[in-house]
Structure 1
Amino acid sequence: MLTAEAWQARSLGAPDQVLELIERTYGAPEEGRLLIKVHAAGLGLPDLLMLEGAYPGMDALPAPGQEAVGVVVEAPRGSAFTAGDRVMGLTPFTEGIGGCAQYTYVRENKTRRVPQVFSDEQAAGFMLAFRSAFAVLVQRVPVTEGQTVLINGASGSSGTALVQLGKALGATVIAVARTQEQRDFCAQIGADHTIDPFATDVAEAARELTGGRGVDVFCDSVGAEPGTQALKAVARGGRVALLGYAAGSWLTVDPMDLVMRNYSVSGVYAGGFDAREDAEAYDTLCDLAEHGLITTPLGSVHDFRAVPQAVASLRSTRIGKTVVRVA
């Protein structure tokens, strides 16, 4: 039994008003969990949505940090991990237990040993974004070498993971991002082309880049009108992956347009796969990372004491992965 500091919300609301440092007690981990000493934690837009009461499946008041990296302190009998292992994994965040803490639990079936090429900060931001990208480009709307992928909201943590995994799979990647800084970042991590949605019609630009044919896959985490307009870039027989609605609502699909152009629309939730599918995804991703084909595109790294400010920044900071350095 040990006691350590952890960030926890006392109610729903703005991060700087409701997040506070508490003393949390940790007992021996139950079966299927590991107790780790946290080195760093990853943040994403869902951490902010939880505080706003807009994230499904929450069973407790939120604690930020869906993913964490650190060293195993204690593992239950029969675990594949032992004390001292350096691991990265997903926390039981729906229960109000997050990674922005000096110690935390991680779910063993969603935990892996850290690739040797990763720093703590890179490891802290790897599992969630790349698991989502794998769910999109491998499991739900599989992309093959030579195809073209259009990514809306490409500069955020999920978007940058899609850019990198798309390139690793041999696709041509077109990244849509709002600012020059965001577009430059996408280009630096591998995007073949970038589009400014304020300067040009995204669908027209994408069709021009594909010789008038349109894109094979459209990944949308923005939604609303920007997503609906970009949907016009999908080629006949193409595929659409819906990941999120950063603009406030999902994009609108016209059933007649869907039928006449023979494209398909798939919802993607990385948490909706079975243990075998998860294991395949995590093992493949770690192998790609070990071979230098993908890596966490870090955006900003924050101090442990600045967690409320880090979470608040998630609405406006859309460049790479946001990470909190704990130890």
Structure 2
Amino acid sequence: MHCSFSNTVLAAFSIISIASAGPIAARDICGVAPAGTVAQTPLSQPTGINTAADCAAKCKGNPACLSFLFGLVDGVDKCLLYSVPAASVPPQTNLVAYDIACTSIPSVVPTAANPGGLRSRQATGAQVSNPAQGASGTTTGSGTQTVGTHANPVNAIPAGSPQAVGTHANPANTVPAGSPNPIAEPVVDDLSACLAACKGNPSCIAYTFESGVCKLFGPTPVRRRQQQGAAGGSASGQGAQNPQTGPSPTPAPTNQGTHANPINAVPAGSPTPIATPAVDDLTACLDACKGNPACIAYVFESGVCKLYE
């Protein structure tokens, strides 16, 4: 009788313990370093991934994927997909973990200061670094413009450099001279989608994607006069341009591109392209650049995509 009572008590205690542990075991890991102790082999390592949200999309597209790691490692964005929960994945330098059930995954490009590409991570001091864009053209307390590096690029025009001028066929990834108000702010998730939105707006000649916000810009009054002058000059053989591809890129000091934020221009010095992938449009050319670790600039001319380092 006593033995039977003891067994009943133990069974009840076990049930209570399991029920109490349930919520803890089921808790999703979202944007923190993993803590597993057993080595796990990734399902795959997709390339051309620039944010945790991009990596999440790849995981959701793989029926076997239950979690993923994302972060900046040795200057290269890394995405690893796993067939086990994030809690079972061992830690790796600079990588943060997400379970596939996580609902709020940042579309933030990682930097050396924020290798996990997490939200609301700002540097201290006068220079405020936004992980989605580097430093968004901010200045230090002395008024000196922020200088980017490949590991921690800034999404800004270097001091003393004229701005790139875009066309609708070949829009520039920059705020036009004069800092005009945007003509639209479409809700998109990344730089590629922002470019696509610009190409879908007949008035758009430039775009930026900063702090998760896409801004489209139209021609300024000065730019309109320049376009009219170029149209007049084409009759005499000057300023001619192809309406399908925009003006041929002229080597000049423009935005300093980085792999995380490549520029749509030929770098100064007219270097030889490092690759000419077979793609159909400017958006695909940008994606090809982002998928090539050495690429910091790209152009799409006459149906040919050219990548530069």
Per residue, is there more strand in 1 or in 2? 1
Normalising by structure 2, report the TM-score.
0.29
